[in-house]
Amino acid sequence: MNALASRRRHPAAIALLLLLGLFVTGGAYAALAPKPAVAAEASSDQIQQGKQLFLQNCATCHGIGALGTDEGPSLAGVGAAAVDFQMGTGRMPMAGPGIQAPRNVPSFDAEKIAAIGAYIQSLAPGPAVPDAKYTSGEGGDPGKGGMIFRTNCSMCHNSAGAGGALTRGKYAPSLHNVDAKYIYEAMLTGPQSMPVFNDMNLSPEAKADVIAYLKTMHEEGNPGGMALGSLGPVSEGLVAWIFGLGILIGAAYWLGQKGA
């Protein structure tokens, strides 16, 4: 017993227990952590093609090695998902400097965008283009997605996903008629003023739930009739004020004419 007790009090025993605890914790984290929704990996030929396209079309603002210049930020670590979102929605390349890059017609086809994304992904680890099973809207839970959206997104995009104004001339864009893949990538990469919802704070399944909610909401339409921009009491009050005041003025004029 004395020998066993002395071994327990040995300084090395504490270090071994700490190492064992770290090993168990790390193993449990690796086993239970959410897996990223990653699509197929790129080939070396695709990366080389992307590099050439980048040098021809993007390096002027983002630098030869994509490390940024005075005209554009560094792209190291943004990942292929950010490239796919920005270029797939036509926000990049920008025609000129501005407060916010608006949605536009894409300048490149999907193959070239994927090649540029593969090149950027090869420079430094970053969010990859998600697997299609998470961006289809199928299998997600609209109820859970609605709770997540109202908690994290509605203050900027409003509860109907119609978008809204932000500070300094910026705005949260409408989510109507937006490809589900780009909604997922926006959550994953946090473009412009949007916060990043990586897979640690919002799992791929939770992102799929948000997409399912938006898809269901847009398919069902507006049960109340005219949406009026889905801006709530602002647009509704404006319509009531204009039409209500117009009716009152018309009635007053009619009564005045009748009394005369």
**Domain 132-223 adopts which CATH fold?**
Cytochrome Bc1 Complex; Chain D, domain 2 (1.10.760)
- Amino acid 136: pLDDT: 83
Give domain 44-123's CATH architecture: Orthogonal Bundle (1.10)
State the amino acid at position 235 in one-letter form: S
Annotated binding site for heme c: 58, 61-62, 153, 156-157
Given a contact cutoff of 8 angstroms between Cβ atoms, the answer to whether 84 and 69 are in contact is no
- pLDDT at residue number 38: 53
User: What confidence score (pLDDT) does residue 239 get?
Assistant: 74
pLDDT value at residue 160: 83
- What DSSP element (H or E) covers 171? strand 171-172
Cβ proximity of 79 and 189 under 8 Å: yes
* AA letter at 216: T
pLDDT by 10s per residue, the chain, length 260? 555 455 555 566 666 666 767 666 766 555 555 555 555 567 889 999 999 999 999 999 999 999 999 989 999 999 999 999 999 999 999 888 888 999 999 999 999 999 999 999 999 999 999 998 888 878 889 999 999 999 999 999 988 888 888 888 899 999 988 999 999 999 999 998 899 999 988 999 999 999 999 999 888 766 666 666 666 666 677 777 888 888 888 888 888 877 76
The pLDDT value given to residue 232: 63
165 SS3 class: strand
The 10 Å Cβ neighbour count of residue 159 is: 14
Which pLDDT score is estimated for 220? 78
Q: Is the pTM of this model over 0.95?
A: no
- Same CATH topology for 44-123 and 132-223: the answer is yes
Listed in sequence order, the DSSP H helices in 58-203 are 59-62, 79-88, 110-123, 142-152, 154-157, 180-189
Query: Domain locations in the chain?
Result: 44-123, 132-223
Answer for the pair 72, 65: CB distance below 8 angstroms, yes or no: no
Question: What's residue 251's pLDDT?
Answer: 87
In DSSP terms, 165 is beta-bridged to 171
pLDDT at 61: 92
Nearest to 174 by CA among 188, 160, 161: 161
Binding-site annotation, residues: 58, 61-62, 153, 156-157
What radius of gyration, in Å, describes the C-alpha atoms of the chain? 27
What was the pLDDT predicted at 11?
63
